[in-house]
Amino acid sequence: MSSLLVILSDPISPILEKGEVTERYYNPGNVFSEVHFLLLNDDQPELNSLQYMVGDAKVQIHNYSMPRRLSLKTLGWNRGLLEYFIGDAVGIVRGIDPDVIRTLGLSLDLVVARMAKKELGIPHIASLHTHPHQPPQKLSLINRFFKNGVDRYRAEALKEADEVLPVYKPIISFLESLGVDDYRVCYNVLNSSAINRKKNYEIEELVKVAYVGRQYKDKDPSNLICAVANIEGVYLTLYGDGPFHDRLKSLVKALKAEDKIVFVPSMENSELCRQLSNFDLFAVHSDCWEISKSVLEALLTGLPIIINRLENYKIPELNDDICFLVDNTVEGYQNALEQLSVNKELREKIGFKAQEIAWERWAPDKMEAVYCDIYRSYLSDVRSI
């Protein structure tokens, strides 16, 4: 019997309800026979949906509600006060007695994992999925004070973790800013059984473009929408929702483009991956320093990808060989859409190169094997014997 404890600060129910799930995501290779979730909130996710993400393991949910106004009670996230106020969470971990702890965030899950490692000797594997300082933001003096407090406890927890696994290279600069120099990049494990590799780059009568992503300020596809509205014969499907969803629907209505731009607020990830190869192009906008899960899925599919350049940063994983980089303007997206719509040779060149590189670097089976090896290395240590 082997057990994993996943500590999450955010509710997981919204992810399950939207179908944003990947098979065995929390239990790659079915390494663990039990997977426990310690949710630092009152969320009660539906277990049947969560089961898909833990494979054959038995799944259990535990809740620990954080004290209110914790940032003030801890005088700006002072570590000693944090450990005093949330120390009871370690009692839950002690009762579970897992072989390994995994965190996936940069919040109080790190504090609980650090305390459990220190008091109980349980290995802590920390996955990082965002760069919290990008895009850059101007902060007030008080907000800077609280941010510095958060970064202090992040740095302490990550320096003491057994493994620090950023899921893409842009996160490295954040780790280095904290003084964390022991890490390895491990990309997200994707839905291998659902991804269909694109083989035919012929376009029939209509050009079908897919956009996948949460719709908010840093991922606002307004320029792409306006570009599609300007081009005859190009149709856009936007998968996802978010704070900008209603605003974007109003924009489409104002452009009188409802017949060629449609919204799909949610779809099961497996079904979405299966459908991607039916599209001709994939377009996205992001101001974040990242290579998102949806972009990786499109690259593995072999879709020609249109994505905006960042002003002061270049995503290490993305270049002109595997995507069409544009300025984040209506003209930038329109020019790319027009070129790719009429140039089959260009579509094939980008699409096939994307497939070649993506399956070499980010093949789901390869990435799952990497996580399996990491987990197994901690199941064979002294604590497990």
Q: Which residue has the higher pLDDT, 147 or 37?
A: 37
What was the pLDDT predicted at 105?
A: 94
CA 353 to chain CA centroid, Å, is 23
pLDDT interval class at 384 (50, 70, 90): very low
For helices 222-230 and 245-254, give the axis angle rounded to 10 degrees.
20
pLDDT of 383 higher than 50:
no
Q: What are phi and psi of 145, to 5 degrees?
A: -60, -45
What was the pLDDT predicted at 385?
A: 35
Each residue of 217-253: pLDDT tens digit?
999 999 999 999 999 999 999 999 999 999 999 999 9
> SS3 of 252, please?
helix
Strand pairing category for 58-63 and 34-39: parallel
Each residue of 146-164: pLDDT tens digit?
889 999 999 999 999 999 9
CATH for 207-362, options being 3.40.50.2000, 3.40.350.10, 3.40.50.11270, 2.10.109.10:
3.40.50.2000
* Fold: same for 3-190+364-384 and 207-362: yes
pLDDT interval class at 193 (50, 70, 90): confident
Residue 322: both structure tokens together: 């595997």
The fold adopted by the segment(s) 3-190+364-384 is: Rossmann fold (3.40.50)
Measured CA to CA in angstroms, residue 374 lies from 62, 105, 327, 383 at distances of 25, 18, 39, 16
What was the pLDDT predicted at 380?
A: 64
Provide mean pLDDT across the span 26-52.
95
What was the pLDDT predicted at 21?
A: 86
> SS3 of 39, please?
strand
* Gap between the Cα atoms of 296 and 137, Å rounded: 27
The residues, any chain, with a CB within 8 Å of residue 367's CB and separated by 6 or more, are: 186, 187, 188, 189, 190
Average pLDDT over the chain, rounded to an integer: 94
Each residue of 286-295: pLDDT tens digit?
999 999 999 9
> SS3 of 325, please?
strand
pTM of the model: 0.92
For helices 330-342 and 222-230, give the axis angle rounded to 10 degrees.
50
* Gap between the Cα atoms of 164 and 155, Å rounded: 11
Each residue of 69-84: pLDDT tens digit?
999 999 999 989 999 9
> SS3 of 16, please?
helix
Residues 366, 370, 371, 372: is their CA dihedral positive or negative?
Answer: positive
What was the pLDDT predicted at 311?
A: 87
Percent residues over pLDDT 70 in the chain: 98
Helices and strands in the chain: count of H runs, count of E runs: 15, 12
Where are the chain's structural domains?
3-190+364-384, 207-362
* Gap between the Cα atoms of 4 and 297, Å rounded: 27
The residues, any chain, with a CB within 8 Å of residue 373's CB and separated by 6 or more, are: none
Provide mean pLDDT across the span 14-19.
89
CA 202 to chain CA centroid, Å, is 31
Each residue of 347-365: pLDDT tens digit?
999 999 999 999 999 999 9
* Gap between the Cα atoms of 179 and 185, Å rounded: 16
What number of other Cβ atoms are within 10 A of residue 123's Cβ? Answer: 23
